[in-house]
Structures are given as structure tokens and as C-alpha cells.
Amino acid sequence: MDCAEVPGQAEGGVESRGVPAEAGQGGALLERTPTPGGLALVSPYHTHRVGDPLDLVALAEQVQKADEFIRANATSKLSVIAEQVQHLQEQARKVLEDAHRDADLHHIACNMVKKPGNIYYLYQRESGQRYFSIISPKGTPVCTQASIVAKEDDKVGSASSECQMSHGQCSNFSLCHDQNHLKINEFPWKDVANALSLGNMVLGLFSIFCSFSRKSHCASWMLLMSFLLDMEVGALTRHLNICCKTGAKLNDFAVFITFGLASGLLLGVDGPLNGFVAIIYVLTTSFCVCFYSSGVPFSYRGLPCPYASCVLASISLLTKGNTFILCCMALLMILFMIEQSYYPRDDVLESENWKKVVYVGGVTMLFFSPFSLTAFYCLMWSLSYIFFPHALWGRADCLKL
């Protein structure tokens, strides 16, 4: 009984079978024996049968695809991190510049009580001394006028009086960048941005009316106009740093009307399949607009709905409203919109010159080219953003970090 062998120990002499004992340690084999526990790991039938000679080639292709996917995924994540670092660097530089400027202005001589909201002019004598005054360069006291910083040289006057422009450079300064002064300059631009958002919504409503009137080409043309106009709205709000809760809600509602409801109606509601896909598309767009925020600067999580709408509008023009092809593409766009991949923010009007040329080309072709050529141009533009988001449309300055 003491000499009973434990199953598997009888085959312990691995070297006699031509299998090295250290094979499992090097990663070649998971077990030290070919029959651990008395079970054959490899079936003779499968190992000796005639198989496809390209099995190894197919396996190598799968391994290569997996490696490429891992590299692309890592590159995408590193691009997002680089964009965040760039954003933080810009914010830190702005904070340091503002602090240095405020500290410098705090030590400038002033013979009056400065009140927030008023305009004060900064003068500098030839000796280098600087001081504040309420006298404008034209010699009249101005305390509430909002004007751009100006510098003038004037050699007329007396060195004993501040009421005359006598000592070289002069510039106006609003105390502490008062918020009231900022709002004066900001309101007109808010109105412009809101007007553009309303224009986007109007185009979406016209597209809906055209879809109900069985004029799919007009509806698609309206959506392509909205696609370009939406980029203009985004560039304006970011460039002027316009932050308005009402304007943001208005823009989101316009995006839902145009790129959700109007784009879904391109699929038609004649049959149950078309209606079901249209409902799913509209619900997906509303979900993305309301809840699908990436929380990461310069990026979107999931495909932005304007690009999905541009694809559907372009295909509708190229196929003359073929609902079957539109439904297939709509399902594909739904998958892109709900996935977890990150897409770079479409700063077309704020980045490289070639992207601005692409935008200008789209506007030009929309108004002066046939529908088919314009649709093909916009389709290639959107597909390049969908399949090559970071390689073509990412921020070049962030990718260099």
C-alpha cells in the first residue's frame, strides 16, 4: 500500500518522452507532462489529421490585429491625457500671468479712491513712474466708458498736472476686471451665439417639414447646412469664452431637433422597421445630448450626433432616399454614438489651416456645387472623423507632448 503510485507520477520522467522538465517554466507548456492526471491534453485524431495549411497564418493575423488594437487604444488614451495636460498648462499660465499683472498694478501710485466698475487710465512718465488717473487721453474725465486699452505718445503739456497728457504712454484699465464691464462686452456676443443656435433649430424644423412633404433632398440639404452652422456656433462660444446656461440649453435643444428628430425622419415612417429604427435613433441622440458627457477637456465620449447626421444626409442624397440603406447606416451610427470610445473635439475653425480649408470647401460646395458632389465631400469628411479621429482630427499641439 505504501508503494502505491500517485496518478501522474509514473509519467514523471518527462525527459524520456522527449519533453524537457523545464518546459512548463519557460512558457512552452503549461504542464510538466503531456498527460497530467492521466488525461491526454492533445487528441491524436486532431494532431494527425490533415488540416488547413493556412491555420497558422490566420492565427498570426489575429495576433497582429490584437497588437494593433492594443497600440491604437493606448495611443487614444495617451492623446486624451496629453490634451488634459495641455489644458492644465494653459490654465496655470493664465493664473500666473493674471497674478503677476494684479501684483504689478497693486503697487502703482494712485491719488484717488478706486471704485470697481469705473475706468482708470494708466500713465507713465519719461522717468518710468506710473500712476492712475480718471482723465482719458483726450483730456476729459471718463469713468463709465468701456474702451480698448490704448497707448499714445504726447509731448505737449506740463509735468506738474495729471489733467494733461504729458508723459508718454497712457492706457486705460478697468479695476480688477470688473464683472459688470465684462458683461457689457459679452451680451452682444451671447445674442449672436443664441441667434446662430436658433438658426440651426429653424433649419432642423424646415428639414422636418421637407421630410413630411416627401422632399428628402431638401431635408438632407438643410441638415448639411446645420452641420456646418453647428461648427460655427461651437467655435464662436469657445473663442469668446461665452458661458451662458440659457444659451447652452438652447443649443442642446437645437441639436436634438436638428440632428436627432430631423435626421431620424430621413429614414421614413412608412413601414414598421423604418419607424422603429427612427425612434431608436432619436432616443439615442437625446440620450447622448442629455447624459453622455465625457467629462474630459477637448474630447467627446461616443460619436457626436452632428457627424452621424451628416453621414445620413449625405447617403440620402447619394442614394436618392433609399430607406433600406439609410436604416442600415442609422444602426451603424447608433453603435458609434453609444460606444465608449473618445473622439477629439471638432475644433476645425480653431486649429490647423488645412482644417479651415476643409470647412471653407464644404461651405463653398454646399452653395455652388451639385448635390451629389457636395454629399460625397461631406460623407468623406464625416467618415474620416469617425474612423481616424485622433490621427487626422486630433489637436496637433497636444499630440507632440
Report the range of poorest mean pLDDT among 247-261, 308-322, 347-361. 347-361
**Does 265 map to a domain?**
yes
Range of 293's domain? 183-399
DSSP string for residues in 203-251: HHHHHHHHHHTT-HHHHHHHHHHHHHHHHHHHHHHHHTT---HHHHHHH
User: Is 71 in a helix, a strand, or coil?
Assistant: helix
Cross-strand bridge partners of residue 275: none
**What per-residue confidence (pLDDT) applies to 205?**
92
Model confidence at 179, pLDDT cuts 50, 70, 90, reads very low
Q: What is the pLDDT of residue 223?
A: 93
Q: Is the pLDDT of residue 233 over 50?
A: yes
Residue 55 lies in a domain: no
Mark residue 13 as left, alpha or beta (left: phi above 0; alpha: psi -120 to 50; beta: remaining): beta
- Compare 55 and 366 and report the one with higher pLDDT: 366
Residues 345, 347, 351, 355, Cα dihedral to 10°? 110
Instruction: Identify the band that residue 203 occupies on the pLDDT scale cut at 50, 70 and 90.
Output: very high
The three three-digit cell numbers of residue 104, written as one number: 504689478
Helix axes 371-387, 353-368, angle to 10 degrees: 150
What is the model's pLDDT at position 365? 86
Write out pLDDT tens, residues 19-44. Answer: 444 444 444 456 677 677 777 666 65
Domain-embedded: residue 277: yes
Instruction: Report the alpha-carbon angle 306-314-221, nearest 5.
Output: 80
Is residue 42 situated within a structural domain? no
Report how far residue 375's alpha carbon sits from residue 378's, in angstroms, rounded to the nearest whole number. 5
What is the pLDDT averaged over residues 188-211?
87
* Distances from the Cα of 167 to the Cα of 126, 127, 129, 142, 153, angstroms: 6, 9, 9, 19, 8
Kindly tell me if the per-residue pLDDT of 147 is higher than 50: no
Please indicate, yes or no, if residue 293 is contained in any of the structural domains: yes
> Residue 172 falls within a domain, yes or no?
no
With cut-offs at 50, 70 and 90, classify the pLDDT of residue 127: confident
Q: What pLDDT score does 310 carry?
A: 93
pLDDT tens readout for residues 349-385: 777 788 888 888 888 888 887 778 888 999 999 998 9
- Whether residue 228 has pLDDT greater than 80: yes
Label residue 274 by pLDDT band (50, 70, 90). confident
Q: What is the mean pLDDT of residues 94-123?
A: 81
Which residues share a beta bridge with 123? Answer: 131, 170
> 17-23: long-range contacts (C-beta < 8 A, 24 or more apart)?
none
375 falls within a domain: yes
Q: How far apart are CA 21 and CA 31, in angstroms?
A: 9
Kindly state whether residue 70 falls inside one of the protein's structural domains. Answer: no
Domains identified in the chain, total number: 2
- Record the pTM: 0.54
User: Which of 140-149, 172-181, 220-229 has the least mean pLDDT?
Assistant: 140-149
Question: What distance in Å separates the CA atoms of residue 374 and residue 322, rounded to the nearest whole number?
Answer: 18
Mean pLDDT of 184-210: 80
The pLDDT mean for the chain works out to 74
pLDDT for residue 369: 77
Q: Hey, how many other C-beta atoms are within 10 angstroms of the C-beta on 27?
A: 7
The DSSP secondary structure of 375-401, one letter per residue, reads: HHHHHHHHHHHHHSHHHHHS-HHHHT-
pLDDT of the residue at 309: 92
Q: Among residues of the chain, what percentage have pLDDT more than 70?
A: 70
Q: Mean pLDDT lowest for which of 114-118, 187-191, 197-201, 322-326?
A: 187-191
**What is the distance, to the nearest Å, from the Cα of residue 83 to the centroid of all Cα atoms in its chain?**
11
